[in-house]
Copies of this chain bind each other. A is one copy, B any other.
Amino acid sequence: MKRYEELANTIATEIAAGRIKAGTRLPSVRTLTTQYGIGQTTVFRAYYLLEERGLIQVRERSGYYVAQGVVANVQQNPARDESPAPALVSVSDVIFSVLDAVRHPGIVPLGSAFPSPMLFPLYRLSRAMSQAGRTLGPWNSVLDMPPGNEHLRRQIALRYTTMGAPQTLDEILITNGALEALNLCLLAVTKPGDIVAIESPCFYAALQAVERFGLRAVEIPVDPVTGLDLGVLESALRAHPVRAVWAMTNFQNPTGASLSREKKRALVALLAKYQCPLIEDDVYGELYFGPERPPPAKAFDTEGLVMHCTSLSKVLAPGYRLGWVAAGRFADAVRRQKLMTSISTSGPIQAGLAEYLQHGGFEKHLRKLRTTLNHQMETMEEAIQAALPRSIRYHRPAGGYFLWLRLPAEVDAMQLHASALTHGINVTPGTIFSRGNLYGNYIRLNCGHPWTPKMADAIKTLGELLDTLLSRDDHAALPSPSQPLLPVDDATRPNIS
């Protein structure tokens, strides 16, 4: 470890332990130079590194200060007589801590929800934007209003036809990414006080939406191999007036689970029986490693009860914020929610991405992206098997870029998250994927970034941090890759709450 890194880690530990509070001014470069007997450059580089990690902030003509938020109030390895660490940060704070850390390029993004932006055809995209921009007329701002740009909706409709789930143009509504689509669907079919069914573990945005809109949630367990438990879902539908089910059918976040074709068909039939809408989140569906795209549940929907939400954010154009929903019988209700929420989706973005979808070489890009992600996941697995305790369990998903790791029961993933962050590593603690601290010994790792020595180091550091949280006896090599890793067991099957 370089000298400036050592200094940065020393300061990071002080901050993490709460011994330097948020908002405190750090010693001047001159002071540290004298105090540690080191060069000014070393101090500058240490401060720069801490700034990159989001731990400190510069204020012009004033100096460096400890940043608000990120790790404030988290104690690293608290002594036994101090108050215990887990409860000090709320789940909600950790969600934003994970999201905020994404903004700092200095942090190893194992906790990010996005693949690396290096994997996308930025030049072709920007060229498509310019080409479409030149043909935008004054009335586009009106014509691109919900349901959205017709050229774009035609391109999207073509994709549905190809995957065997044809949609009419009228049923496709363009949104600001999939998250807006999901939220609009929820608002379209519920009112405050209603009950909805969500997954456990689930994409944390579902938990946030339930809370913000004053809904009540029934949590349906997700098996990391076979996905949503339809038996439990049916009990819930029988017992409660469930207004909607929000679920991810392919490469679920965080588990990576997918429903089989048969199970999707059964899910749609079950919901039709209860006339309950499905809000289907399928943002990872295009990122399959097998021979063909797994169909969405929407492909089996004959009654227009499924609202199929997806986007280009994880497969083509991160940051462009373009998504859509094929909303079936709810198309008009969702369109009205869109008008009330953000009026419209940006016209130049709609036109630019329509142009790309038609002429940009999307299929070729997707083929390359799938191969890359599959390879990156393999590399990550090798690193995990070399550096993490053998007691760790996970199931390799058939697509996407997440690994959902079960750590030994005595590990607190929130503590691991906080400690890792002080080392410039972002991992997502399982806790944020449910309401009841259910996955306290799980972490989600992102394999969406090209492998680098820094990432290899990060996995090693994670291994060391886990060692300090575990008894030494437990640490040994993982079973060799030829031996199949066990799927996660019943610990992932919480009761409905």
Contacts and interface: CB of A to CB of B under 8 A. Distances in A.
Give the interface centre of A102, A134, A140, A340 by most chain B CB atoms within 10 Å. Answer: A340
A346 B343 contact: no
Contacts of A129: 129-130, 133, 348
B343 A179 contact: yes
Contacts of A213: 192, 213-214
B176 A342 contact: yes
Interface stretch (A155-163, A315-323, A384-392): A315-323
Nearest to A130: B130
B145 A103 contact: yes
A342 B96 contact: no
Number of copies: 2
Contact of A126 (B134, B322, B345): B134
A177 interface: yes
A192 to B, nearest CB: 3
A346 B192 contact: no
Interface in A160-189: 176-177, 179-180, 183, 187
A118 interface: yes
A191 to B, nearest CB: 7
Interface stretch (A204-212, A371-379, A456-464): A204-212
Contacts of A208: 340
A212 B332 CA distance: 16
A138 B126 contact: no
Contacts of A143: 103
Contacts of A343: 177, 179, 313, 321
Contacts of A313: 343
Nearest to A93: B336
B319 A99 contact: no
A141 B126 contact: no
Given A117-B139, A136-B122, A339-B96, A176 B214 contact: no
A289 interface: no
B179 A342 contact: yes
A319 B340 contact: no
Interface in A288-302: none
Given A133-B130, A212-B187, A342 B321 contact: yes
Interface in A83-123: 96, 99, 102-103, 105, 114, 116-118, 120, 122
Contacts of A318: 141
A233 B141 CA distance: 37
A10 interface: no
Given A96-B339, A177-B343, A352-B348, A120 B138 contact: yes
A240 to B, nearest CB: 19
Nearest to A141: B319
Given A141-B318, A319-B347, 12 more contacts: A96-B336, A120-B138, A141-B319, A144-B319, A176-B321, A176-B346, A179-B340, A179-B342, A179-B343, A187-B212, A192-B193, A205-B340
Interface of A: 69, 96, 99, 102-103, 105, 114, 116-118, 120, 122, 126, 129-130, 133-134, 136-145, 176-177, 179-180, 183, 187, 191-193, 205, 208-209, 212-214, 313, 318-322, 332, 336-337, 339-349, 352
